Amino acid sequence: MPTLKQLTDDFLAQRRIAVAGVSRTGQSPANAIYRKLKENGFTVYAINPNADMVEGEKAYPNVAAIPDAVDGVVIVTTPDATEQVVRDCHAAGVKRVWIHQGFVHGSSLTTSAVQYARDHDMTVIAGACPMMFLKPDFFHGGMRWVLGATGKLPA
C-alpha cells in the first residue's frame, strides 16, 4: 500500500485539479485550497452545484460538467455530500480523489466514500489537507510536521 507521501506526490504531480465545495462567499477551506492550487500553477476547476461563478471564474455543478479532463478532485464538502462526489468522479473517469480532513474546520471524510473509491480502483487520500503539501505555506507545513510527529497524519 502506498505511503501518504507517495499518494500526495502522485496527486500533486497532476496538473488539472477540481475542488468540490468551493463557496460563493470565498470563506471556506475549499476556497483557500482552490486559490493555493492556482498559486502553485495548477489548472483548477471549482465545483459548486449552487453557483455559476466562484472566485471570479466559472463554477461547475459536478465533475462531469467540466469540459476538460480532470486528473484529480479535492473534496471539501459536508460529509453527507462526499460519497456522491466520489461516485461522480468515478462516473467521469477521475482516478484520484483527495477527501479533505481539516483539524479546525471539520472533515469531509466518510468510511463509505473511502470504501467506494477503493472498491472502484480509485486512488484515494483519506484525510489531511492539500495545503500541508503545497509551497509556500509555513502554517500548514508546520501543522503537517506536528501531525506527522504525533502520528496523526492519515496513513
pTM: 0.86
Grid coordinates of 109: 471524510
User: How far is residue 7's CA from residue 100's CA, in Å, rounded to a whole number?
Assistant: 14
Average pLDDT over residues 75-84: 95
pLDDT over 80 at 149, yes or no: no
* Domains annotated on the chain, with CATH: 4-148 (3.40.50.720)
Q: Give the model confidence (pLDDT) of 90-110 as tens digits.
A: 999 999 999 998 655 668 889
Q: Give the model confidence (pLDDT) of 102-143 as tens digits.
A: 655 668 889 999 999 999 999 999 988 888 887 755 444 445
Task: Write the DSSP symbol of residue 101.
Answer: B
